Amino acid sequence: MNFWKRYSNMMETHNQTYIAEFQLTGFSEDPKLQLLLFGLFLSMYLVTVLGNLLLILAVSSDPHLHTPMYLFLSSLSFVDICFTSITVPKMIVDILTHSRVISYMGCLTQMSLFLIFATMDDMLLTVMAYDRFVAICHPLHYAAMMNPQLCVYLLLVSIFISILDSQLHNVVVLQFTCFKDVRIANFFCHPSQVFSLSCSDTLIKTIVTYFVGAIFGFIPMLLILFSYCKIVSSILKIPSLGGRYKAFSTCSSHVLVVCLFYGTSIGVYLGSTVSYSPSQGMVASLMYSVVTPMLNPFIYSLRNRDFRNTLKRLQDGASNP
């Protein structure tokens, strides 16, 4: 009897440990809303891809835009396309097939790629803040300081840090031996929610979440804040009001994108370790993973005269071949 009891317990533990697939909750199960959600997310995805591709085309086609700022901006656009492509196409397919199932390996793959491109967004925003810092605080030394070798180095470091962040999460997740539930309260495999489903020690999960969040989230944010403190200090020293406005206008687009990205991503990532509201978490995830990449090309194009002039030339060239 003791043997069969132990065997039964082992089989029960095995059934809890092995997870073949997860269930994504999505935004709504109401059949009447499915067509609306399909049209909404498909439109947002197409606008994101086309808008960012147009920005990349404009930067690559105009020699006047071959500067460090636009190099980082076009890199950000490419990352945003990949970032959105990790989650939205899967969500659109789920709506069409009326199935929100994702395999265990598919979930880990989606989570890994999501972390790579989310961290790349984070790193590029930090690099762009440094670029603006050098341009405004050290304008006479800008060309020497932001040389092509340094720009390539900063991009390579950003890629390395992004992969490292993803692998750290993967190492932790692969140590999980069981999950409390298979339902993920989001439209994709968000890392913090995969963590929350684990039966592992809550303290360890919390420490890892805050540690990784501090290194790859708060430290870049502090660097951005430090850069803008120096930028604001330099702008206030400019005697003319027109000069101050011109200097600040070169940073306003970046500031707006940083606020959109950090205001939602950090809240949903760290807030999940304290108290988590599924509806608020999904809206926050949607904001920084879909809405912000969609708005980036519009924010930069509307606030940048050089970029607007390039787009106008491209439009004139297309209409008058």
- Sheet strands side by side (includes 101-103): 101-103, 21-24, 183-184
* HSE-CB for 205 with a 13 A CA cutoff: 21
| Mean per-residue pLDDT, 45-49 | 94
Share of the chain above pLDDT 70, in %: 79
pLDDT at residue 24 is higher than 50: yes
pLDDT at residue 127 is higher than 90: yes
- Cα–Cα distance list, 98 to 26, 92, 93, 185, 246 (Å): 11, 10, 8, 17, 51
| Mean per-residue pLDDT, 244-249 | 76
Q: What is the pLDDT of residue 314?
A: 64
Encoded amino acid at 189, one letter: C
- What gap in Å lies between CA 49 and CA 299, rounded to an integer? 15
Q: What is the pLDDT of residue 321?
A: 55
Q: Which of 177, 172, 209, 179 is nearest to 197 (CA)?
A: 179
Lowest mean pLDDT among 13-17, 27-31, 137-141, 195-199: 13-17
Contact 162, 127 (CB under 8 A): no
Kindly state the tokens that stand for 316: 């004139």
| Mean per-residue pLDDT, 187-208 | 74
Q: What is the pLDDT of residue 254?
A: 78
pTM score, whole prediction = 0.83
C-alpha 136: how far from its chain's center? 27
Buried-exposed string 170-189: b where 16+ CB fall within 10 A, e elsewhere: bebbeebeebeeeebbbbbb
- What gap in Å lies between CA 21 and CA 101, rounded to an integer? 7
Mean pLDDT across the chain: 79
Kindly state the tokens that stand for 104: 């265990």
Between CA 36 and CA 150, with CA 289 as vertex, the angle to 5 degrees is 150
Q: Residue 107's pLDDT band (boundaries 50, 70, 90)? A: confident
pLDDT at residue 214 is higher than 80: no
- Cα–Cα distance list, 267 to 35, 102, 140, 188, 284 (Å): 30, 25, 39, 17, 8
Q: What is the largest CA-CA distance in the chain?
A: 90
* HSE-CB for 125 with a 13 A CA cutoff: 32
For the chain, the C-alpha Rg in angstroms (whole number) is 23
Maximum mean pLDDT: which of 96-110, 179-193, 304-318: 96-110
Contact 79, 157 (CB under 8 A): no
How is domain 32-310 classified at the architecture level of CATH?
Up-down Bundle (1.20)
- Cα–Cα distance list, 18 to 8, 13, 181 (Å): 16, 9, 11
Q: What is the pLDDT of residue 200?
A: 66
Q: What is the pLDDT of residue 301?
A: 72
pLDDT at residue 13 is higher than 90: no
| Mean per-residue pLDDT, 98-120 | 88
Higher pLDDT, 275 or 62: 62
What pLDDT digit, counting tens, does each position of 153-169 carry? 999 999 999 998 888 88
pLDDT at residue 315 is higher than 80: no
Contact 184, 23 (CB under 8 A): yes
Lowest mean pLDDT among 12-21, 48-57, 127-136, 279-288: 12-21
> In the chain, where does DSSP find H-type helix?
2-17, 31-61, 68-97, 104-137, 142-145, 148-173, 191-196, 202-213, 219-236, 241-271, 278-286, 292-302, 305-319
Interhelix angle for 104-137 vs 241-271, to 10°? 160
